[in-house]
């Protein structure tokens, strides 16, 4: 299985090749722990999210689109110009290219989406914080999966004033960087159930997947 090249979706689909060694957990200061607690509270405060995104690929290609999240477990990523749709089911993240394209299935827990659509985000448990930094406007939190650090690392970017998620970067298992910038984010807005409808026959059964 080839690594996904969509930074919104995955650090890697299958981490067969690693370009970097696993990262140790960061030694957190009292300020770090306080900020993480406040961020965790903020991230867990909403049930739905709608936002515009700008994605910059490792080769510098730019894509735009809209992300919809309904917790727990539901996600839709709609690209503006690509005939590409990303949805989640209970266990899988499903990538559909074109109307007749054969869907690709990836275990939801192997993707950043698996973190974003959880009912509760916890900077502990199976998520390891390996770095936290700040500048005048932002707080950056870098995480890996505790049991699979070779899958890649994700840096979530929050504004310091409101602790709103403003974007993230992904470094995949081959060391390739993808950046995602968010704008016009709206929280707890009504979302139509049809946004998350997965076309019939396009969901794989199985036990590998994400936490709901």
* pLDDT tens profile 18-41: 333 445 667 899 999 999 999 999
CA 77/CA 34 separation, integer angstroms: 32
Which range has the worst mean pLDDT, 14-28, 82-96, 114-128?
Answer: 14-28
Regarding predicted confidence, which is higher, 112 or 194? 194
CA 16/CA 28 separation, integer angstroms: 30
**Segment 155-184, tens digit of pLDDT:** 999 999 999 999 999 988 788 899 999 999
Highest mean pLDDT among 9-13, 55-59, 115-119: 55-59
> Phi and psi at residue 66, in whole multiples of 5°?
-130, 140
> What pLDDT score was predicted for residue 183?
97
Bridge-based pairing state of the strands 127-134 and 177-187 = unpaired
pTM of the model: 0.81
> What pLDDT score was predicted for residue 3?
42
Instruction: Answer yes or no: are the C-beta atoms of 174 and 13 closer than 8 Å.
Output: no
* CATH architecture assigned to 30-184: Clam (2.50)
Regarding predicted confidence, which is higher, 137 or 198? 137
Regarding predicted confidence, which is higher, 212 or 121? 121
| pLDDT band for position 208 (cuts 50, 70, 90) | very low
Q: Is 41 exposed, middle or buried (0-12, 13-18, 19+ CB in 10 A)?
A: exposed
Which range has the worst mean pLDDT, 3-7, 23-27, 47-51, 194-198?
Answer: 3-7
| Cβ neighbour number for residue 98 with a 10 Å cutoff | 10
Domain boundaries, the chain: 30-184
């Amino acid at each position: 299985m080839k690594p996904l090249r969509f930074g919104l979706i995955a650090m890697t689909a299958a981490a067969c090749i690693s370009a970097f060694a696993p990262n140790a957990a960061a030694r957190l200061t009292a300020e770090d722990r306080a900020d993480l607690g406040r961020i965790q509270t903020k991230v867990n405060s909403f049930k739905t999210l709608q936002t515009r995104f700008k994605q910059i690929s490792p080769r510098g290609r730019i894509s735009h689109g809209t992300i919809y999240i309904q917790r727990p477990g539901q996600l839709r990523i709609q690209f503006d110009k690509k005939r590409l749709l990303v949805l989640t089911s209970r266990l899988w993240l499903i990538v559909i290219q074109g109307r007749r394209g054969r869907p690709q299935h990836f275990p939801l827990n192997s993707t950043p989406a698996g973190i974003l659509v959880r009912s509760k985000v916890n900077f502990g448990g199976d998520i390891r914080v390996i770095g936290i930094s700040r500048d005048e406007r932002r707080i950056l939190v870098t995480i890996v999966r505790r049991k699979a650090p070779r899958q890649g690392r994700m840096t979530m970017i929050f504004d310091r004033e409101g602790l709103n998620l403003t974007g993230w970067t992904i470094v995949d298992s081959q060391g390739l960087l993808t950046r995602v910038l968010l704008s016009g984010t709206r929280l707890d807005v009504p979302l139509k159930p049809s946004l998350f409808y997965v076309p019939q026959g396009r969901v794989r059964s199985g036990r590998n997947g994400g936490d709901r």
